[in-house]
Chain A
Amino acid sequence: MAITRIIIPRLILLLFVVLGVAVITFTISHLIPGDPARMIAGDRASAETLENVRRNLGLDRPVVEQFTIYIGNLLNGDLGTSLRTGRPVAADIRTFLPATLELGTIALFIAICLGVPLGVLSAVYKDGPIDQLARTVSVCGISMPVFWFGLILIYVFYAKFQVLPGSGRLAMGIVPPERITGFLLIDSLLQGRFDAFRSATYHIVLPGFVLAFANMGVITRQIRASMLDVLQEDYIRTARASGLRKGMIIFNYALRNALIPSITLLGLALGDLLYGAVLTETIFAWPGMGTYVVTSIQTLDFPAIMGFTIVASIGYVLINLMVDLAYMVADPQIREV
């Protein structure tokens, strides 16, 4: 099968990528200026305590052996213990991950819902006022410093007009729904907690839009470019000559084909989304992975930073693999090769 011929090298690459991340994070953890044992034991620890900590961490053993231990721990899902929270990093990540996923999903949804139609309109009415507007919006989106945009929106919608909340996931005083999926929007609905659902919806609007805006620019651009390509094809001219309605040509003929190259873009957009989430969460005090990692950076909590890096990288690679598979399913031409 052709598909297996494409998937197997990707899986091999995936293995190397995971190993590569482990090597990188391991190296970085050993690059840190200063003594990790000293950082854990504190400045006033005695030489004996230091020695104990060092032995417990395996720091007295040769580097290769340390790396084997490190990999072994990783395979067991042990990412070490956070210096700041004192809890296992894996447990911390499990706590904070759903909030980030929820924000990211909403943002991607907004970006697609706004970006695709804008891109289509922009291509169909090329060089017209809509096109100019769409291009300006997308250049702005790509050039927008996410952290600043968030601040401005908080100022306008929270401080000035007081229509939307500016931080957190729920209003104060609302008891969070019991955790089932960790997605507040879903959990609150499942438990019939409409007060929590409304509050969660209000809270996700601003961060969701901020995070969506940059990706919207990329999506609009991509859709516009591939629509312009497709609209020049002979079959579009044939369809037009046959007297098909314009809407039918655009959506059933052109857009379906223009979407295919855009699928790969989705995988790349996730990298931006991940990074944008770190900044957006910081601005909106969103209790997710981004806030967690930025706080960890500010307190030099290396096990937490490296844990985040590993989880984010593996997730990113896996999602890209899935995106590529989706691409193959969507495009029969690739499947046949």
Chain B
Amino acid sequence: MSAVMPTEPAAATAVTRRAKPLSERLRYLWYLGRRSPLTLLGVAIILMVMVMIVAAPWIAPYNPDKVSLTARLLPPSSAHWFGTDEVGRDLFSRVIFGARASCGAAFMIVLISTTVGVLIGCFSGVVGGRVDTAIMRLMDVVLALPALVLAMALAAALGPSLFNSMLAVAIVRIPAYVRLARGQTLSLREQVFVKAARTYGASSFYILRWHILPNAMSPIIVQATLDLGGVVLIAAALSFIGLGAQPPTAEWGALVSSGRSYMLDQWWYATFPGLAILITATGCNLVGDGIRDMLDPRLRGR
């Protein structure tokens, strides 16, 4: 996991950037994106998945839960693009609706772990002293463990459900963000503008809220984007081994899992949901890499 740490906080540029009109900022993004077609591909994939999530009921040709016993395990055709499953549900519709569970879970995991991690990290950095040491040693212990094995144990203990597996993965992902946010806080605390604010009598909370958090956010957002691709895979994998979403739910990992027993004769059942996972994760990783390269000027020339 490589954290991107800008050598100087973007405070000074943030002010000027905010003043720029939106069109100009978009044009700048387009300029950066044009140099890396792969990033644009990633953006396109993510947009496509977002459309799937929002407009699933309008895109999907069938009701994803509608059982039709006369249409069991049909191969892909013009009526059923991805074929049908063992009770005749349309797999194309189930994959479209599956985006909600799969990507929703991944998004929630990242959201929970960043929020909690950033809060703990900033708190630890601002308070300092023994509390800080205790928190950081605890995080070291958790970081030293194989996170996913821990998540599996945790998810198993909480009981198999999509929510519990999300919680388990989110918990083991927290320490990385705590560390990142604390590092940012520590370096920002010494910056002149923070010291100036303190001289004017600003409270710790005010400084945290208006000076440290906004400036600490950009590396954290990069890290979160980079994580998203991995988290999509983990959420699907946990569902696959039966710890996440349970079978009747249309979720990509669970779909691959139920398609597994039909793999040898009905290849389409497990293939298309898995392909959806692969494409989504690729999109997230491409965008994550692109954003990292954009923010890291050292890499920009490459």
Q: CA separation between A300 and B243, bound complex, in Å?
A: 11
Chain B residue at minimum C-beta to C-beta distance from A24: B150
A28 contacts B157, C-beta separation under 8 Å = yes
A279 contact from B156, B237, B264, B271, Cβ within 8 A: B237
Contact of A70 with B by CB under 8 A: no
Contact of A20 with B by CB under 8 A: yes
Q: CA separation between A14 and B260, bound complex, in Å?
A: 40
B241 contacts A143, C-beta separation under 8 Å = no
Residues of B contacting A148 with CB < 8 Å? Answer: 256, 270, 274-275, 277-278
A278 contacts B274, C-beta separation under 8 Å = no
A146 contact from B142, B237, B260, Cβ within 8 A: B237
Residues of B contacting A24 with CB < 8 Å? Answer: 150, 153
Chain B residue at minimum C-beta to C-beta distance from A316: B146
Contact of A17 with B by CB under 8 A: yes
B274 contacts A145, C-beta separation under 8 Å = yes
Residues of B contacting A151 with CB < 8 Å? Answer: 256, 260, 263, 270, 274
Fill in one digit per residue for B255-291: 1 if any A CB lies within 8 Å of its CB, else 0: 0110010011001001100110110011011100100
Interface residues of A in 132-162 (CB under 8 A from B): 135, 139-140, 142-149, 151-152, 154-155, 159
Chain A residue at minimum C-beta to C-beta distance from B274: A148
Distance in Å: Cβ of B202 to nearest Cβ of chain A? 37
* A275 and B156 in contact, given A139-B286, A159-B264 (Cβ under 8 angstroms): no
Distance in Å: Cβ of A41 to nearest Cβ of chain B? 20
Q: CA separation between A48 and B140, bound complex, in Å?
A: 45
A–B Cβ pairs within 8 angstroms, 29 of them: A13-B141, A16-B140, A17-B145, A28-B154, A29-B157, A33-B159, A140-B278, A142-B229, A144-B233, A146-B237, A147-B241, A148-B256, A151-B270, A151-B274, A154-B263, A155-B267, A271-B148, A274-B149, A278-B149, A293-B152, A297-B152, A297-B242, A302-B156, A305-B156, A306-B153, A308-B153, A309-B150, A316-B145, A316-B146
B240 contacts A279, C-beta separation under 8 Å = yes
Q: CA separation between A38 and B236, bound complex, in Å?
A: 32
Q: CA separation between A13 and B1, bound complex, in Å?
A: 21
Q: CA separation between A316 and B1, bound complex, in Å?
A: 17
A317 contacts B271, C-beta separation under 8 Å = no
B285 contact from A142, A312, A316, A320, Cβ within 8 A: A142
Contact of A241 with B by CB under 8 A: no
The prevalent SS among residues of B at the interface is helix
B278 contact from A135, A143, A278, Cβ within 8 A: A143
B263 contacts A313, C-beta separation under 8 Å = no
Residues of A contacting B277 with CB < 8 Å? Answer: 145, 148
Residues of A contacting B241 with CB < 8 Å? Answer: 147, 278-279, 282, 294, 297-298
Distance in Å: Cβ of B212 to nearest Cβ of chain A? 28
* A147 and B149 in contact, given A20-B142, A140-B282, A154-B263 (Cβ under 8 angstroms): no
Q: CA separation between A2 and B142, bound complex, in Å?
A: 26
* A312 and B274 in contact, given A139-B285, A147-B256, A305-B153 (Cβ under 8 angstroms): no
Chain A residue at minimum C-beta to C-beta distance from B239: A147
Contact of B18 with A by CB under 8 A: no
Distance in Å: Cβ of A203 to nearest Cβ of chain B? 18
Residues of A contacting B152 with CB < 8 Å? Answer: 278, 293, 297, 305, 309
**Range, interface on chain A:** 35 or more
Number of A-B contacts (CB under 8 A): 142
Q: Which of B141, B150, B267 gathers most chain A CB within 10 Å? A: B141
Q: Which of A25, A274, A275, A283 gathers most chain B CB within 10 Å? A: A275
Contact of A174 with B by CB under 8 A: no
Q: CA separation between A28 and B256, bound complex, in Å?
A: 29
| Extra A-B contacts (9), CB below 8 Å, given A148-B256, A297-B242 | A20-B141, A28-B157, A139-B38, A151-B263, A274-B149, A293-B152, A298-B241, A316-B149, A317-B145
**Range, interface on chain B:** 35 or more
Contact of B137 with A by CB under 8 A: yes
Contact of B130 with A by CB under 8 A: no
Residues of B within 8 A of A (CB): 1, 38, 137, 140-142, 144-150, 152-154, 156-159, 229-230, 233, 236-237, 240-243, 253, 256-257, 260, 263-264, 267, 270-271, 274-275, 277-278, 281-282, 284-286, 289, 302
Fill in one digit per residue for A265-303: 1 if any B CB lies within 8 Å of its CB, else 0: 000100100110011001100000000011001101010
Residues of A contacting B285 with CB < 8 Å? Answer: 139, 142-143
Interface residues of A in 223-272 (CB under 8 A from B): 228, 268, 271
B146 contacts A139, C-beta separation under 8 Å = no
A31 contact from B150, B157, B253, Cβ within 8 A: B157
B148 contact from A147, A152, A275, Cβ within 8 A: A275
Distance in Å: Cβ of B150 to nearest Cβ of chain A? 7
Q: CA separation between A21 and B286, bound complex, in Å?
A: 35
A28 contacts B153, C-beta separation under 8 Å = yes
A275 contacts B146, C-beta separation under 8 Å = yes
Q: CA separation between A17 and B139, bound complex, in Å?
A: 10
* A147 and B237 in contact, given A152-B271, A228-B302 (Cβ under 8 angstroms): yes
Distance in Å: Cβ of B240 to nearest Cβ of chain A? 5
Residues of B contacting A302 with CB < 8 Å? Answer: 156-157
Fill in one digit per residue for A169-186: 1 if any B CB lies within 8 Å of its CB, else 0: 000000000000000000
Q: CA separation between A17 and B1, bound complex, in Å?
A: 20
Chain B residue at minimum C-beta to C-beta distance from A283: B260
Distance in Å: Cβ of B260 to nearest Cβ of chain A? 6
Distance in Å: Cβ of A106 to nearest Cβ of chain B? 20
A155 contacts B263, C-beta separation under 8 Å = yes
Residues of A contacting B264 with CB < 8 Å? Answer: 155, 159
Contact of A32 with B by CB under 8 A: yes
Distance in Å: Cβ of B62 to nearest Cβ of chain A? 23
A147 contacts B240, C-beta separation under 8 Å = yes
Q: CA separation between A148 and B271, bound complex, in Å?
A: 7
Contact of A198 with B by CB under 8 A: no
